[in-house]
Amino acid sequence: MPAILGIYYVLSFSRFLQNTALFLASMFFYSWGEPVYALIMLFSIAANYVFGLLIACSGKAATKKRFLFFGIAANLAALFYFKYTHFLLVNIDPSGYLETLVPLVALPIGISFYTFQAMSYIIDIYRGRVAAQRNPIYLGMYIAFFPQLIAGPIVTYNVIEDQILYRKTTWHKFSIGFCRFVTGLGKKVLIANNMAIVADRIYEMAAFGSLPASLSWLGAASYTLQIYFDFSAYSDMAIGLGLLFGFVLPENFDYPYCAKSVTEFWRRWHMTLGQWFRDYVYFPLGGSRVGNLDLLVRNLFVVWLLTGLWHGAEWTFVMWGILQFVCMVGEKLFSFEKMRLSRAKHLYLILVIIISFALFRSDNLPAASVYYAGMFGFAGFWSDFTWMFVKENLVVYLAAILFCLPVSRRFNYMLVNGNYGWAGKLAMGTYPALILGIFLLSLTYLVKGAYNPFIYFRF
């Protein structure tokens, strides 16, 4: 990171050289962990570059649509082969014979993210929202941009088109970017990873049979906190790194656990994925303006079935997507968001999210059924392990709950701007020390080899 930053700012006299440096750095970064599958990335860049030009240069609407179809098919074919082939073969032939005919391949990291970005590029050209990129290196930089390559946020081409050539780098952006990166690093290393220790240990215990309800709920709640702080941390780090290079990337989380319905939750959680499905699936199907309840339900079902499958090739993800669909349809039918009793609605949301993430975390449906049996009291209610885990991680739990709330945003605002009188000015003076402390403490955890799982490997 220091090396590419130095190179980037030395090349500030040429935007072309800066973009080329970022593209090469991104490919180096990807090749470090995926040396063979970097070729798949290069193929994706080349194919979408060609399809983009073909769509832009075609005079007839039918020809444009034909090239768009082949471009989308090529992107989805690569995604399907690596991510869903064996899932499909196992479900077609439970004996496993068909599976032996196709070699087992590892899932290229980040393929779900960069495939969606590539498809948004050619779709937006077809819609006339953006112009085709004539420089393949610039397109490659967009698709392979290393800060958000492997865990999002998903950046559509229309968001970044002008920034490719006309972004500005300033000390203000740089300082905000560094602080945002450190904030994300702290969320990941200090909170998410410690929540992962509890969640993973409890789920390992559940592999041997149902657990008491208190322990099962603690494991599900711990995973609910882990996945938020893990994923939002990666988004914070990506947005921060983007700012170091002058790029303004879209926000991906807006305190989703403060929502009061599943519908609102999905306006706040992984917002770029929701916006992608809204713009490229839901709206083309007719959205909510179809004037027919059956069509509305169909549109929501398609979106949430695809959203579940996007997260992984396993029935747990399919059922998780269907659960979100059922809750959202129920909320629309009963005008749930217009109801009062906000505390009861918030409690409902938290219960639904914890229950649904218990399914999301399970390896398969039988494992999920065993875990749910524990959550609903079929193996008793109390375990001494529950108190042990809470006692050993009490500070982390309190920090996790606190920073799920907008109070963290207000606290950050006070620190940065020095509002709220003398206390605010004092806090403002301590902000650099706080950021540096988080940075050094996070590095200490990483250097000593603390537990550091990456949830989104499987996506």
Structure tokens at 207: 């592999």
Please say whether the beta carbons of 364 and 316 come within 8 A: yes
Structure tokens at 454: 């990456």
Please say whether the beta carbons of 379 and 209 come within 8 A: yes
pLDDT of residue 426: 61
List Cβ neighbours of 19 (8 Å cut-off, separation of 6 or more).
Answer: 137, 138, 141, 164
pLDDT of residue 457: 66
Residue 417's pLDDT band, with cuts at 50, 70 and 90, is low
Residue 203 has a CB neighbour count (10 Å cut-off) of 21
Higher pLDDT, 97 or 129: 129
Least confident of 189-193, 385-389, 450-454: 450-454
Structure tokens at 117: 């970005």
Query: In the predicted model, what is the mean pLDDT of residues 170-196?
Result: 93
Q: Is 102 helix (H, G, I), strand (E, B) or coil?
A: coil
Higher pLDDT, 67 or 332: 67
Query: In the predicted model, what is the mean pLDDT of residues 130-145?
Result: 96
Cα torsion angle, 316, 250, 146, 162, sign: positive
Please say whether the beta carbons of 256 and 265 come within 8 A: yes
CA distance 244 to 75: 30
Is 346 among the catalytic positions?
A: no
Average pLDDT, the chain: 90
The yes-or-no verdict on residue 455 having pLDDT over 80 is: no
Query: In the predicted model, what is the mean pLDDT of residues 15-26?
Result: 96
The yes-or-no verdict on residue 167 having pLDDT over 80 is: yes
pLDDT of residue 425: 62
The yes-or-no verdict on residue 156 having pLDDT over 90 is: yes
Please say whether the beta carbons of 31 and 106 come within 8 A: no
DSSP letter at 378 equals B
Q: Nearest-5° angle of CA 437, CA 171, CA 425?
A: 50
**Long-range contacts from 290-296, C-beta under 8 angstroms, 24+ separation:** 296/332
Query: In the predicted model, what is the mean pLDDT of residues 58-84?
Result: 93
Among the listed residues 86, 172, 270, 311, the single catalytic one is 311
Q: Is 305 exposed, middle or buried (0-12, 13-18, 19+ CB in 10 A)?
A: middle
Higher pLDDT, 50 or 294: 50
CA distance 79 to 108: 9
DSSP letter at 257 equals G
DSSP letter at 326 equals H
Q: Is 231 helix (H, G, I), strand (E, B) or coil?
A: helix
Higher pLDDT, 290 or 195: 195
Question: CA nearest 25: which of 43, 50, 44, 6?
Answer: 6
pLDDT of residue 381: 93
Residue 131's pLDDT band, with cuts at 50, 70 and 90, is very high
Query: In the predicted model, what is the mean pLDDT of residues 94-106?
Result: 73
Query: In the predicted model, what is the mean pLDDT of residues 169-185?
Result: 92
CA distance 380 to 268: 35
pLDDT of residue 390: 95
Structure tokens at 446: 């990483």
CA distance 420 to 428: 10
Residue 418's pLDDT band, with cuts at 50, 70 and 90, is low
Buried b (16+ CB within 10 A) or exposed e, 57-94: ebeeeeebeebbeebbebbeebbbebbebbbebeeeee
Residue 69's pLDDT band, with cuts at 50, 70 and 90, is very high
Q: pLDDT digits over 351-376, tens only?
A: 999 999 999 999 999 999 999 999 99
DSSP letter at 455 equals G
Q: pLDDT digits over 302-349, tens only?
A: 999 999 999 988 999 999 999 999 999 999 888 887 887 888 899 999
Q: Is 404 helix (H, G, I), strand (E, B) or coil?
A: coil
List Cβ neighbours of 280 (8 Å cut-off, separation of 6 or more).
Answer: 119, 120, 123
Q: pLDDT digits over 210-259, tens only?
A: 899 999 999 999 999 999 999 999 999 999 999 999 999 999 999 999 99
| 331 Cα distance to chain centroid | 25
CA distance 297 to 326: 9
Query: In the predicted model, what is the mean pLDDT of residues 284-288?
Result: 85
pLDDT of residue 277: 96
CA distance 401 to 91: 40
Compute the radius of gyration of the chain from its Cα atoms: 23
The yes-or-no verdict on residue 451 having pLDDT over 60 is: yes
